[in-house]
Amino acid sequence: MKTIAVAFTGASGLPYGLRLVDCLLAADCKVQLVYSPAAQIVAKQELDFTLPSRPAEAEALLTARFNAAPGRLTVYGLQEWFAPLASGSNPPDAYVICPCTMGTLAKVAAGMADDLITRAADVVLKEGKKLILVPRETPFSAIHLENMLRLARAGAVILPPNPGFYHHPQGIAGLVDFVVARILDQLGVPQTLVAKWGAEGE
């Protein structure tokens, strides 16, 4: 069973993050989740969904929302330094920051680990695990691009949420699923959200 850490930050794009958690749990992964106060604001604005401030309440709410098996989803507080993902002795198999603000991306690029979201990224990079950043901003400035290049050179995957249209999405959910499918492919988690190119007739 893979252990995948997921972080929500305050960029637009919470539908991507929630759908990713849903799919990971459905794929029998163990999910470790952490999110920022700004992500709570975005969740309310974009989805009219309230992410509780208390990790235990959020864990119960999301476990029920996604019909997850007990113990598969663990939610940690932003300053919970004793969380497993805060230490190189117990890193997750992979870590996805989705959506990722440019501020978070800049902190990770600079090695600034001042909360659990950025500390976990530091841990995953130094331990040689996969780090996927889903930056939701447009257009990118030279600073943004330089930070992304620095992270790519350090081994991170930069995966902007740019949906394709060749799968003929029927609505917003189809666009979200396209991006989430690409994330799952990077994680090596089987997905049936979007058919692989050239595989429709198989």
Which CATH number fits the domain that encloses residue 28?
A: 3.40.50.1950
The pLDDT tens digits of the residues spanning 92-122 come to 999 999 999 999 999 999 999 999 999 999 9
Residue 167: band (very low, low, confident or very high) from pLDDT cuts 50, 70, 90: confident
The count of other CB atoms within 10 Å of the CB of residue 166 is 9
42 pLDDT exceeds 50? Answer: yes
Range 9-19 average pLDDT: 97
Range 132-155 average pLDDT: 97
128 pLDDT exceeds 80? Answer: yes
Q: How many domains does the chain have?
A: 1
Identify the pLDDT of residue 199: 73
Identify the pLDDT of residue 200: 57
Q: Report yes or no on 194 lying in a domain.
A: no
Query: Which two tokens mark 91?
Result: 């890193």
Range 34-52 average pLDDT: 97
Q: Report yes or no on 201 lying in a domain.
A: no
The count of other CB atoms within 10 Å of the CB of residue 21 is 24
CA dihedral 75, 144, 128, 3 (to 10 degrees): 20
Identify the pLDDT of residue 196: 83
26 pLDDT exceeds 90? Answer: yes
Say what percent of the chain tops pLDDT 90: 92
Our measurement of the distance from residue 198's CA atom to the centroid of its chain's CA atoms, rounded to an integer in Å, reads 27
Our measurement of the distance from residue 170's CA atom to the centroid of its chain's CA atoms, rounded to an integer in Å, reads 24
Q: Report yes or no on 104 lying in a domain.
A: yes
Decide: helix, strand or coil at residue 72: coil
202 pLDDT exceeds 60? Answer: no
Q: Report yes or no on 47 lying in a domain.
A: yes
Q: Report yes or no on 198 lying in a domain.
A: no
123 pLDDT exceeds 50? Answer: yes
Identify the pLDDT of residue 156: 98
Decide: helix, strand or coil at residue 98: strand
Identify the pLDDT of residue 77: 97
